[in-house]
């Protein structure tokens, strides 16, 4: 099969410099959704028609040329003279021996299953159209049937009052025998209300040749909903998120409110996972059995181990969290944070590019960057690893069972030996030996003769 994706329209109503098909839905460009769905059908040829937005669309398509997938062709449509004219631009790329499926780059949520049903219904010798009954069909092409058979499509602007009362609409998604499509497109005229070459006019041509025109219906109306404005984009985003939420609920995940979760990527959950309201998941996130995620947390490309509790308002990116760990509230795990079993990272603690081994704790107000922290280490409130001299970064090593007193600065490169204790307020610039108390602190003195100043009376 050939697949042609129409993406040349300008999307004026988006009120944006970004081409419409590059606006993200669930963190992914609209066109990317369509390409991903098309690829599920393993097309021999895949061609994207672009126009507005300069090089942005072909550049986005060029980034797809990775992995096992066949390359995607692009064709420029300039000027844009209608949907039929758009498909004409793809003709040199298409293989005549297989049918051609036409998709829209701004209709992101069509399921591969619905497309397969359409393609199967059409076979190799019929024209197939994905249609839907719509309570408010205003603005869309209507399916005109005689004795139940599709005979043509009429656009809103060209329709009679009687035709406008038809509720079955053309989604725009069609599949056609390629050689016939070639002929029909070459004979299109633009003699209509919009002065455009309508793809929809191929239907009457097929019927005139005696070809059977079949239709298939998507499982839900939103599968064929297009995005023309930010309002429609926001509506489809909520629809998509609700679908993902329902899938998670069916898998046994507890969502405190399925209307208040956002997944922009893939979220994989074990058994008995609970997610409170307002959480955002980006990229690939996995939550193992029994994980609880507190309200308003953001998790990006991270793996969270079994039984972990993430308290509210955490930001976790590029991190691995070991089983039974406790994180937050208000914790920040940055890329390269690897936490072992039952590690505790508390409020206002930031961990970056560091490993923290089992049972270690940093419960309050600390920065752990470029560090290797052993097991059962206690990091006191206010501890900072000074990893950066303004030019280079250095590592801090804290061995097993060390105790770092509050408000210490560990100036890297530096090592705290196993079982060492660092006195509160220490600025550590040389290695601290294992098992000993090390501190840098001016001795405490009391000045017996000192007296508080008294307020001088104004004359």
Catalytic residue numbers read 364
Residue nearer to ligand UD1 on the CB measure, 9 or 382:
9
Strand 127-133 to 168-176 pairing: antiparallel
* Residue with smaller CB distance to ligand UD1, 131 or 371: 131
Cis peptide before 295 (omega within 30 of 0): no
Nearer to ligand UD1, 141 or 218 (CB): 141
CB of 357 to ligand UD1, least distance (A): 54
How far, rounded to the nearest angstrom, does the alpha carbon of residue 274 sit from its chain's CA centroid? 21
CB of 84 to ligand UD1, least distance (A): 7
Sign of CA dihedral 227, 231, 233, 236: negative
Shortest separation between residue 172's beta carbon and ligand UD1, angstroms: 4
- Which residues sit at the interface with ligand UD1, rule CB under 6 A? 6-9, 49, 77, 80-83, 85-86, 104-106, 140-141, 153, 155, 169-172, 198-200, 226
Q: Is the link from the previous residue into 79 a cis peptide, with omega within 30 of 0?
A: yes
| Closest to ligand UD1 by CB, 229 or 268 | 229
Nearest approach in angstroms of CB 32 to ligand UD1 is: 14
Return the number of other C-beta atoms located less than 10 Å from residue 400's C-beta: 17
- The DSSP call for residue 5 is E
266 forms beta bridges with: 284
Q: What angle do CA 294, 367, 316 make, to 5 degrees?
A: 30
Min dist CB 88 to ligand UD1, Å, is 10
Instruction: Provide φ and ψ at 233, rounded to 5°.
Output: -65, -45
C-beta closer to ligand UD1: residue 110 or 178: 110
Count of all residues that appear for the chain in the document? 459
Residue nearest to ligand UD1 (CB): 141
Q: How many CB atoms lie within 10 A of CB 307?
A: 19
Q: Which is nearer to ligand UD1, 131 or 355 (CB)?
A: 131
Residue 215 host element (H or E): strand 213-216
Pick 13 or 271: Cβ nearer ligand UD1: 13
Name which of 262, 256, 248 is nearest 275 in CA terms: 256
Nearer CB in complex with ligand UD1: 56/411: 56
Strands (E), 84-207: 100-104, 127-133, 142-146, 149-154, 168-176
Least Å from the CB of residue 224 to ligand UD1: 8
**What's the min distance (Å) between Cβ of 199 and ligand UD1?**
4
Closer CB to ligand UD1, 45 or 359, in the complex: 45
Tell me what percent of the chain is helix, strand and coil, each rounded to the nearest 5: 20, 35, 45
End-to-end CA distance of the chain: 99
Given the structure tokens 């089992």, which residue do they identify? Answer: 358
Query: What burial class does residue 238 get, using C-beta atoms within 10 Å of its C-beta: 0-12 exposed, 13-18 middle, 19+ buried?
Result: exposed
Cα–Cα nearest to 406, from 424, 419, 428: 424
Enclosing H/E stretch for 348: strand 344-352
Token couple for 428: 């550590």
Q: Taking the complex as a whole, how short is the minimal distance between the CB of residue 110 and ligand UD1, in angstroms?
A: 12
* Cβ neighbourhood burial of 376 (10 Å; 0-12, 13-18, 19+): middle
Q: How far is the CB of 167 from ligand UD1 (least distance, A)?
A: 12
Q: How far is CA 256 from the centre of its chain?
A: 21
């Amino acid at each position: 099969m050939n697949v042609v994706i129409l993406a040349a329209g300008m999307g004026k109503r988006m009120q944006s410099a970004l081409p419409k098909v590059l606006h993200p839905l669930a963190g992914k460009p609209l066109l990317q959704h369509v390409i991903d769905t098309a690829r599920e059908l393993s097309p021999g040829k895949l061609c994207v028609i672009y126009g507005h937005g300069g090089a942005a669309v072909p550049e986005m398509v060029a980034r797809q040329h990775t992995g096992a997938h066949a390359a995607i062709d692009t064709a420029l449509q300039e000027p844009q003279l209608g949907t039929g004219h758009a498909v004409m631009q793809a003709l040199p790329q298409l293989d005549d021996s297989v049918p051609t499926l036409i998709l829209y780059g701004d209709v992101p949520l069509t399921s591969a299953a619905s497309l397969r049903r359409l393609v199967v219904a059409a076979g190799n010798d019929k024209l197939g159209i994905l249609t839907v009954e719509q309570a408010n069909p205003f603005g869309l092409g209507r399916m005109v049937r005689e004795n139940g058979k599709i005979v043509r499509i009429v656009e809103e602007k060209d329709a009679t009052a009687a035709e406008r009362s038809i509720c079955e609409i053309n989604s725009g998604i069609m599949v056609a025998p390629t050689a016939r499509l070639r002929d029909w497109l070459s004979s299109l005229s633009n003699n209509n209300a919009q002065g455009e070459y309508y793809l929809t006019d191929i239907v009457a041509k097929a019927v005139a040749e005696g070809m059977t025109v079949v239709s298939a219906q998507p499982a839900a109306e939103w599968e064929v909903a297009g995005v023309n404005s930010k309002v429609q984009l926001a509506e489809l985003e909520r629809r998509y998120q609700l679908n993902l939420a329902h899938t998670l609920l069916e898998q046994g995940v507890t969502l405190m409110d399925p209307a208040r979760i956002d997944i922009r990527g893939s979220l994989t959950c074990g058994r008995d996972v609970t997610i409170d309201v307002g959480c955002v998941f980006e990229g690939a996130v996995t939550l193992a059995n029994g994980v609880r995620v507190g309200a308003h947390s953001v998790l990006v490309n991270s793996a969270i181990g079994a039984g972990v509790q993430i308290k509210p308002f955490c930001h976790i990116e590029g991190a691995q969290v070991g089983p039974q760990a406790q994180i937050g509230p208000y914790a920040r795990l940055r890329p390269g944070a690897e936490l072992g079993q039952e590690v505790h990272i508390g409020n206002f603690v930031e961990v970056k590019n560091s490993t923290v081994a089992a049972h270690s704790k940093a419960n309050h107000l600390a920065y752990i960057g470029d560090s290797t922290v052993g097991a059962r280490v206690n990091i006191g409130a206010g501890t900072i690893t000074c990893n950066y001299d303004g030019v280079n970064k250095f590592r801090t090593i804290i061995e097993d069972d060390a105790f770092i007193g509050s408000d210490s600065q560990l100036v890297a490169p530096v090592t705290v030996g196993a079982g060492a204790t660092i006195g509160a307020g220490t600025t550590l610039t040389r290695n601290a030996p294992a098992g000993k108390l090390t501190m840098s602190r001016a001795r405490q003195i009391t000045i017996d003769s000192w007296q508080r100043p008294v307020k001088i009376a104004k004359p």
